[in-house]
Amino acid sequence: MDRVLITGGAGFIGSHLADELLAAGYAVRALDVLVDQVHDGGKPAYLSADVELIPGDVRGGEVVRGALEGVDAVVHLAARVGVGQSMYAQAEYAGANTLGTTVLLDALAESPVRKLVVASSMSVYGEGAYQPVPAVERTREQLERREWEPRGAGGEELTPVPTPETKQPALSSVYALTKFDQERLCLLFGSAYGVPAVALRLFNVYGPRQALSNPYTGVLAIFASRLLNDNAPVVYEDGAQTRDFVHVSDVARAFRLALEQEGADGRVVNVGGGRATSVLEIGHTLSGLLGREIDPELPGTFRAGDIRHCIADVTLARELLGFEAQVALEDGLAELADWLQTQPATDRFDRAAAELAERGLTG
């Protein structure tokens, strides 16, 4: 029986991946620092008792080397997550994400494994793909004029299209930069040391176990924490920006397929649903499902580091891994709403928004 180490294995995606792997007959070990912003003080109740949990920071060489003992494969999920927070906590994000990855890879050089899979992010693309020409990244001056839609270099009006892995990265936040560091470091290591390595660029992952009290996590969790406290979700820009939402159970399956198959070795692969949904639509839908008829708030402000549209081209995932998302957004949101009704949620959005505003990162 293969033993898989999941760094960040007590988190939202990591715990679902652990369940997926346990059900498939793997032994699972998790290394997780259990950061307070996510876990609020300890081991989460949802983590399977069959997971061997090692509390520890991926930046600690000794604990990482211990976690790798007897391991056959590694899924590297450990990372600080949040575009907005990354813009003023640069050292923490670079330390946890970039430095942490190098510590892991140094240890792997001494403890070879048969496979390494790393979680990257759609954030590395910056703006997604557009027609008829590529988009120019939006400037602060453009955003201050409330001109939300990107334009081409010649001022062309653009239509968003699915974003393929071949699109040139455009790293518009510290978080995006560190996620690109993680994927490139792992693929470089794999090539140099002969370890099959895969980087999965995850789009907007949602589902049960999201950290509802983390004001820098995914938009669905942030909206949920607002609604569960009878507060209106705050939508930046005009709400027409679109995202690609993919259920966490589909993401867990994609990681398992990447561990088991060779088709994507040495490659980056998008993992998304392939469907565009506006942020405003998500706010209205979640409000209705939770029985809170609270309209989203549209103050007309923006946040530094955000992008307008990015939807996954999922062709490679289908061709290389045989992966397609199976959970329809409507079904996944209904399931999420049922879970949310059983959860306490501390709404820390206002404090997080104030932190961003104090640093001039919103406008």
Helix (H, G, I), strand (E, B) or coil at 193: helix
CA distance 219 to 43: 24
The domain segmentation of the chain, as residue ranges, is 3-358
Over residues 218-258, the pLDDT tens digits come to: 788 788 888 888 888 899 999 999 999 999 999 999 999 99
Q: Are 95 and 27 in contact (CB under 8 A)?
A: no
Residue 69, exposed/middle/buried by CB under 10 A (0-12, 13-18, 19+)? exposed
DSSP character for 95? I
Alpha helices in 46-139 (DSSP H): 61-67, 83-86, 90-93, 100-110
Helix (H, G, I), strand (E, B) or coil at 153: coil
- Which one is catalytic: 125, 175, 206, 236? 175
CA distance 221 to 215: 8
Query: Which pLDDT score is estimated for 215?
Result: 58
pTM: 0.94
Cα angle: 253, vertex 74, 246; to 5 degrees? 30
Q: Are 209 and 15 in contact (CB under 8 A)?
A: yes
Q: Are 4 and 73 in contact (CB under 8 A)?
A: yes
Angle between helices 219-228 and 329-340 (to 10 degrees): 40
CA distance 131 to 69: 49
| Cis amide leading into 296 (omega within 30) | no
CATH number of 3-358: 3.40.50.720
CA distance 212 to 37: 10
CA distance 176 to 336: 27
Amino acid identity for residue 131 in this structure: Q
Would you call 26 a catalytic residue per the annotation?
Answer: no
Query: Which pLDDT score is estimated for 87?
Result: 84
CA distance 62 to 31: 12
Which residues neighbour 94 within 8 Å (Cβ) at sequence distance 6 or greater? 174, 178
CA distance 31 to 14: 10
Which residues neighbour 47 within 8 Å (Cβ) at sequence distance 6 or greater? 9, 10, 15, 18, 30, 53
Which residues neighbour 263 within 8 Å (Cβ) at sequence distance 6 or greater? 319, 320, 321
Find the helix or strand (DSSP H, E) in which 120 lies. strand 115-121
Query: Which pLDDT score is estimated for 293?
Result: 84
Report how far Cα 332 is from the mean position of its chain's Cα atoms.
17
Task: Provide φ and ψ at 270, rounded to 5°.
Answer: -70, 140
Q: Are 27 and 2 in contact (CB under 8 A)?
A: yes
pLDDT tens string for the chain (363 positions)? 799 999 999 999 999 999 999 999 999 999 999 876 665 657 888 999 999 999 999 999 999 999 999 999 999 999 988 787 888 889 999 999 999 999 999 999 999 999 999 999 999 999 999 999 999 999 999 999 999 999 999 999 999 999 999 999 999 889 999 999 999 999 999 999 999 999 999 999 999 998 776 655 678 878 888 888 888 889 999 999 999 999 999 999 999 999 999 999 999 999 999 999 999 999 999 889 889 888 888 999 998 778 999 999 999 999 999 999 999 999 999 998 898 888 876 766 667 667 767 777 677
